[in-house]
Structure 1
Amino acid sequence: MLCPEVFNFKAPESHFSSQKRNPNERNHLNTVNSLIYNHLVSVILPDASKVPESLTQALSNDCDYYKLKNVKISDFVARDFIVNFINSGNLYVLSVNTRIDCDNCVAITPEGQLILSLSKSEYQSLGLEGQVSHFHHRTQERYNDAETPALVSLSSPIVTKLQYYHDPQKIVSVLYSCLDCLNELLASSVPYYLYEKMAREVLNAVKGLIEKTKKTYYPHTNMSAFLTEMNVVVSLTEVVLNPLLKQIDFTEWPKIMRYVLYKNLSKMTGLEVLNLGSSTGGWRTSDYDKYIVEGISGMKHLRSLCLCFDCTDQVIQVVGDNCPFIQCLDVTSSRSVTDRSIPSLLKCNHLRELQLHRTSVTPVGLAQILRGLDKLQDIGRCDDFRGVIKMLHQSGACGPFGLRKIHTRGLYPEILRLLVDMFPKVEYINLFHDEQVTDLTILTSLDCLKELKLLSCAFYGDYVKQLLEVRGCNIISLHLEHVEEVDLNVLIDISQFCPRLKSLVLYNCDFMDSSEINTSRLKVQPFQNLEKLFWMVDCARTHLEFILLHAVNIRNIHLGSSTGITHSSIVNILTVNPMKHLEELRILYSSDMSMKTVELLLANCTNLRVLSELESWQGISMEELKNFKQHIYSNNFDLDIRPTLSYY
């Protein structure tokens, strides 16, 4: 282009803005201070022949800006640096004379977060975990990292340090000093939103280290050295126990770690969810009682507490006095919980779930709780709920009460009618049928009913069919256990009356021989929304196939040991319904299912992640199973075939 037509080139778009401010205002300082990484300010003085003395002095004075050379990144993660500059001061750090799109850059924010922008080679050499940089698309060489260094095993250095001392008290003092330092380091180095994840990883690492240390013991091992090392390893549990921890489940950790957890309960004042499980299983000791009481008394933010077997009236008193936000309390099987705890429970105004099964709380006490806690939605299993209803009725407290879940037994018609009137918001009912109740249509008055579990009744004789016909449109979970008069037409009724059904459990039901199917009643496709099927029924293969042929959204299937399912059944089902959403399949026994069945399932059920109890499939030999396990391992398949023999 020898003579470009310059006049045809449009001027680039530009944006200009200006603000008029009073020079006496100091708002501009807030703007400057908010731009933390600015290290250059240009001052323009229009129509000024002389620079004001005040400005000259302000620009020439010393400030808190320093330029350091040859600083190592490792210096920024040293404990002394974090304690003295991050925790105790106000610090900004930024690389100068570097280009963020092609050089290695480092920054520290006022919140204490270390940010690295690295080249690919530097990123790989440091062994960090990060993400692709915004500038990666240019050179394919940029990575960002804002993580803290991984926690490494520190038991060996601590053990080595302790070997220099012979005084037991000195050893204990040095050990706890080391643990406190580690605790402070983790608390100061890990962002609060990652602390839960980090704590779990640390506890899992300690758990693994304990098992590894146990295996180092041999008959000729120095017992003193072994016990010292074991004590240090177990004590590492403490390094994550502080107010930053929000939830912990003691049942996940071995007993050798639990004592350390109990002993340090008082440090975990920030807990919101605490699951102590069964604690000592009823073998209470004064030490454990002391740890629990002292620990809970400082947990002002606790929302959920589980303490089975070992809870006492004293513990509940501490909860009532110190945990104003408690919403869930499970003290199942704690015989030491009595009616004396009722005043303390009534202080828990936000309580929504209270599990008191097999405690010493009487129906009179439960009636007081229902009257006093208007937010309570679940009281767990209560076999004497009939007595509770009687006490409420006799006291003139007819509700309505806010319970959403009821699990009981032995309700005769009059009590059942009172239940419906007093608890109209019930969404879940688990009812062991009483012979005196011959008409379950009383439950049709429960407009909110979504989950129904019935034990020991007759489908037609006790009017379960009529109940489902009226309320089935809202039912999403149905559990029938020891129910009589069940045949294929019952399954059709369930599919038509409960179109939103997601979970179906049939356990030891008395199936009758199938009569002719009335297909005219199939106004909607059966079981289209079913996701979970638990089937523990003897020799009802036709009924099972009917369900699985139509359950196109099934995700979880658990079949018992006497269902009669065979390879041909699987072929028939998958030919019509490949079960593309199936994730978990457990079949406790089959007389002829083999590796061909496994291959067929894997070819059709592309989301399958659990295929369990293959050991009980008679068509699979132990050698075939061993080869299949090796095949999964060598090809890194996401498939779990470990046997569980778990029950519903």
Structure 2
Amino acid sequence: MSPRKQPSTLFKICIKNCIDLINSACYVIEKSCPENMFHDCERQAFELKYYLMSMLPVRLFDILCSERTCCQYRGDPRVQLHVLTHPNMTVFRKCDLDNSIPQRFWVETLSNFSRLIVLDLKFICTDEILQVIGMNCPLLEEINIVSRVNICKSLFNASVLIRNVSDNGLCSIANLKHLRVLAMDPPRNERANRVGRCVSQAGIIMLVNELPYLEELKIESCDIGSTLISTVMDIGPLSLRKINCHFASAEGIKKLIKICPFLRELSVTHLSEHNKDAILEQISLSELRLNRLDLSFFSYTDSMQQLLANKGNYLTHFSLWEIDHSLTLDAVLSIGYCCPNLNSLCLMTQSKCLTIPRYFRRPKNIFTELRSLTLGNENFNIDHILTFFLDCTQFLEKLVLKYQTKTNLDDTLLHLLQKGSFSNMNYLWLDCTLDVSKEVLKQVVKTCEKLQMLTVAITDEMTDVQRYISENNLDLKLGGY
């Protein structure tokens, strides 16, 4: 049976009670001071902070501040923040309530945080705030500077998003030489030149070139690889460990590898029919020791086989979105032999050639380390393929099944449950095309002792399963679509 919900630890109870008491005290202070006496309110908040600091360890304030959302504050969040922040804190992550706080508060407050290691200012960041951070937070290793966004009406009565971080802001943090992880806005497009402040590709290139230890650059919906490849500046070698690259070319990948020789995670999406093999050959011939390789819109060719033969021993995660019906059982076996250390595998394919012969004898010592498996197809026999993989490993913890044809999965699940194949499963995601009866779902819940996340197509009958989970106090989240 899925694990039962456990009571909160004594530490969590103490943290929640502390925040409750602090919130109550802050609210009393706030309500006792009229709006035109905010400075007096600030003074009382600081007195409460110093009183707490005389009794509590400084490091506890980091935890209290990060957990403040467990008890929502009813008043002005600035009062609560005045009490829960301190000059020696190392981690600060904003919450949704902070989005309405004026910029002036952040400029004044962040100037005191000289020991910060992690800072999350998503949706509140501006150039002015970055200027303060650049001057006062030299130890930062991780930062989120996704811009505050203002919404206004244009002359044509349409909503326009105005961002507040530009290349000037990026220049301000270029001296934060310890940065390892950076999340930020995407570069502007042609229209965005007329809409407020925006960062540019040149600004991003300048910044990454100034940060010697930057390992991860997080820019939503941005092709970071192509951004680096397209620059005319002489950059690199960079310390980046993760890169996504769309619309790649063989020469572009070759240049990218030269710019980022320490890559550990590479994602390549390729849509051209002409030089996919040349891209694979560039990766295969390089000195890269990739732990994770994601390939989308590729075929399983001799070049793919050669790449895995050369680099598969380093891979712990491999993802292939295959086209051209090139994925066969022999190809799957080759992946298993070439990548003995895989703990995560994703195979998305439309291949009609992936079949398991009736009297096939499963080879030993392939896929033995798998912990996470994602399979997607509309043509293979899901019972045969799933049984093949689950017979290879006894340690699978996460299973995602994506199928495009309406299929009943009851018999397959019952067969695998009886074999004990789900003994370590804690995450099971079944596509909405996969029909599972409430009786079999109950059997899954009863049999899988570690299952904590189950996603299926929820029907009216599933209320019985939800009631069963609730009545037995199970620590299991049942989700739908």
TM-score bracket for this pair, using the shorter chain length = 0.7 to 0.9
Question: Given that residues 146 and 184 in structure 2 are in contact (C-alpha distance below 8 angstroms), is that contact kept between their aligned partners in structure 1?
Answer: yes
The answer to whether the aligner puts 1:607 opposite 2:447 as a matched pair is: no
**Shift of residue 473 of structure 1?**
1.2
Question: Given that residues 534 and 557 in structure 1 are in contact (C-alpha distance below 8 angstroms), is that contact kept between their aligned partners in structure 2?
Answer: yes
Query: In structure 2, do the counterparts of structure 1 residues 634 and 315 end up closer, same or farther at CA, with 3 Å as the change threshold?
Result: same
Q: Secondary structure at the match of 1:206?
A: coil
- Structure with the larger RCO, 1 or 2 (CA within 8 Å, 6+ apart): 2
1:354 aligns with 182
1:629 aligns with 466
Query: CA separation in 2, counterparts of 1:546 and 1:631?
Result: 32
The answer to whether the aligner puts 1:190 opposite 2:34 as a matched pair is: no
Question: Given that residues 454 and 480 in structure 1 are in contact (C-alpha distance below 8 angstroms), is that contact kept between their aligned partners in structure 2?
Answer: yes
Query: CA separation in 1, counterparts of 2:30 and 2:230?
Result: 66
Letter in structure 1 aligned against 2:369: N
2:308 aligns with 468
Question: Given that residues 363 and 385 in structure 1 are in contact (C-alpha distance below 8 angstroms), is that contact kept between their aligned partners in structure 2?
Answer: no
**Shift of residue 466 of structure 1?**
2.3
Query: In structure 2, do the counterparts of structure 1 residues 178 and 451 end up closer, same or farther at CA, with 3 Å as the change threshold?
Result: same
Query: In structure 2, do the counterparts of structure 1 residues 374 and 184 end up closer, same or farther at CA, with 3 Å as the change threshold?
Result: closer
Deviations along 1:535-560, whole A, 9 cap, x unmatched? 34335414334323323111112333
User: Map of 1:282-293 to 2, 5 A cutoff?
Assistant: 287-288=102-103, 290-293=104-107
Q: Secondary structure at the match of 1:615?
A: coil
1:317 aligns with 131
**Shift of residue 160 of structure 1?**
8.5
Question: Given that residues 474 and 498 in structure 1 are in contact (C-alpha distance below 8 angstroms), is that contact kept between their aligned partners in structure 2?
Answer: yes
1:295 is aligned, of 100, 109, 117, to: 109
User: Map of 1:532-571 to 2, 5 A cutoff?
Assistant: 532-540=372-380, 541=382, 542-560=384-402, 562=404, 564=407, 566-571=409-414
1:478 is aligned, of 291, 297, 318, to: 318
Letter in structure 2 aligned against 1:562: Q
2:213 aligns with 375
1:327 is aligned, of 133, 141, 156, to: 141
User: Map of 1:235-246 to 2, 5 A cutoff?
Assistant: 239-243=83-87, 245-246=89-90
Query: CA separation in 1, counterparts of 2:43 and 2:208?
Result: 50
Letter in structure 2 aligned against 1:358: P
Query: CA separation in 1, counterparts of 2:23 and 2:240?
Result: 51
Query: In structure 2, do the counterparts of structure 1 residues 362 and 584 end up closer, same or farther at CA, with 3 Å as the change threshold?
Result: same
Query: CA separation in 2, counterparts of 1:354 and 1:157?
Result: 36
Query: CA separation in 2, counterparts of 1:362 and 1:161?
Result: 45
Query: In structure 2, do the counterparts of structure 1 residues 518 and 586 end up closer, same or farther at CA, with 3 Å as the change threshold?
Result: closer
Query: In structure 2, do the counterparts of structure 1 residues 517 and 235 end up closer, same or farther at CA, with 3 Å as the change threshold?
Result: same
Figure out how many residues of one structure are paired with residues of the other and give that number.
436
Letter in structure 1 aligned against 2:437: S
Question: Given that residues 429 and 454 in structure 2 are in contact (C-alpha distance below 8 angstroms), is that contact kept between their aligned partners in structure 1?
Answer: yes
2:475 aligns with 638
Query: CA separation in 1, counterparts of 2:216 and 2:15?
Result: 43
**Shift of residue 161 of structure 1?**
9.4
Deviations along 1:124-182, whole A, 9 cap, x unmatched? xxxxx989xxxxxxxxxxxxxxx89954658789988999x8x9468867766664554
Letter in structure 2 aligned against 1:473: N
2:422 aligns with 579
1:594 aligns with 437
Q: Secondary structure at the match of 1:578?
A: coil
Gaps of 5+ in 1: 1-128, 132-146, 211-230, 263-286
2:4 aligns with none
Letter in structure 2 aligned against 1:247: V
User: Map of 1:174-185 to 2, 5 A cutoff?
Assistant: 179-185=45-51
**Shift of residue 530 of structure 1?**
1.2
Query: CA separation in 1, counterparts of 2:443 and 2:413?
Result: 8
Q: Secondary structure at the match of 1:560?
A: strand
Query: In structure 2, do the counterparts of structure 1 residues 338 and 239 end up closer, same or farther at CA, with 3 Å as the change threshold?
Result: closer
Letter in structure 2 aligned against 1:433: H
**Shift of residue 503 of structure 1?**
1.5
Query: CA separation in 2, counterparts of 1:372 and 1:156?
Result: 46
Question: Given that residues 243 and 267 in structure 2 are in contact (C-alpha distance below 8 angstroms), is that contact kept between their aligned partners in structure 1?
Answer: yes
Query: CA separation in 1, counterparts of 2:207 and 2:231?
Result: 12
Letter in structure 2 aligned against 1:452: L
TM-score w.r.t. length of structure 2: 0.75
Letter in structure 2 aligned against 1:551: T
2:329 aligns with 488
2:253 is aligned, of 404, 416, 426, to: 416
1:59 aligns with none
Deviations along 1:93-148, whole A, 9 cap, x unmatched? xxxxxxxxxxxxxxxxxxxxxxxxxxxxxxxxxxxx989xxxxxxxxxxxxxxx89
Query: In structure 2, do the counterparts of structure 1 residues 431 and 536 end up closer, same or farther at CA, with 3 Å as the change threshold?
Result: same
**Shift of residue 410 of structure 1?**
2.4
**Shift of residue 451 of structure 1?**
0.5
Deviations along 1:479-536, whole A, 9 cap, x unmatched? 22364433433322222221211122334x3222435659999654332111112334
The answer to whether the aligner puts 1:431 opposite 2:268 as a matched pair is: yes
Query: In structure 2, do the counterparts of structure 1 residues 521 and 306 end up closer, same or farther at CA, with 3 Å as the change threshold?
Result: farther
Letter in structure 1 aligned against 2:175: K
Query: In structure 2, do the counterparts of structure 1 residues 323 and 241 end up closer, same or farther at CA, with 3 Å as the change threshold?
Result: closer
Q: Rg bigger for which structure?
A: 1
Query: CA separation in 2, counterparts of 1:534 and 1:380?
Result: 24
Letter in structure 1 aligned against 2:179: L
Letter in structure 1 aligned against 2:70: N
Query: In structure 2, do the counterparts of structure 1 residues 590 and 180 end up closer, same or farther at CA, with 3 Å as the change threshold?
Result: same
Query: CA separation in 2, counterparts of 1:364 and 1:162?
Result: 46
**Shift of residue 409 of structure 1?**
1.8
Query: CA separation in 2, counterparts of 1:387 and 1:233?
Result: 39
Q: Secondary structure at the match of 2:436?
A: strand
Query: In structure 2, do the counterparts of structure 1 residues 566 and 539 end up closer, same or farther at CA, with 3 Å as the change threshold?
Result: farther
TM-score w.r.t. length of structure 1: 0.58
**Shift of residue 470 of structure 1?**
1.7
Query: CA separation in 1, counterparts of 2:23 and 2:173?
Result: 44
User: Map of 1:517-528 to 2, 5 A cutoff?
Assistant: 524-528=364-368
Query: In structure 2, do the counterparts of structure 1 residues 474 and 201 end up closer, same or farther at CA, with 3 Å as the change threshold?
Result: closer
The answer to whether the aligner puts 1:502 opposite 2:343 as a matched pair is: yes
- Identity, in percent, stands at 21
**Shift of residue 614 of structure 1?**
5.7
Query: CA separation in 1, counterparts of 2:309 and 2:378?
Result: 27
Query: In structure 2, do the counterparts of structure 1 residues 434 and 319 end up closer, same or farther at CA, with 3 Å as the change threshold?
Result: farther
2:290 is aligned, of 449, 470, 473, to: 449
Q: Secondary structure at the match of 2:72?
A: helix
Query: CA separation in 2, counterparts of 1:307 and 1:149?
Result: 24
**Shift of residue 388 of structure 1?**
3.2
Query: CA separation in 1, counterparts of 2:269 and 2:253?
Result: 12
Query: CA separation in 2, counterparts of 1:476 and 1:204?
Result: 36
Q: Secondary structure at the match of 2:276?
A: coil
Question: Given that residues 450 and 477 in structure 1 are in contact (C-alpha distance below 8 angstroms), is that contact kept between their aligned partners in structure 2?
Answer: yes
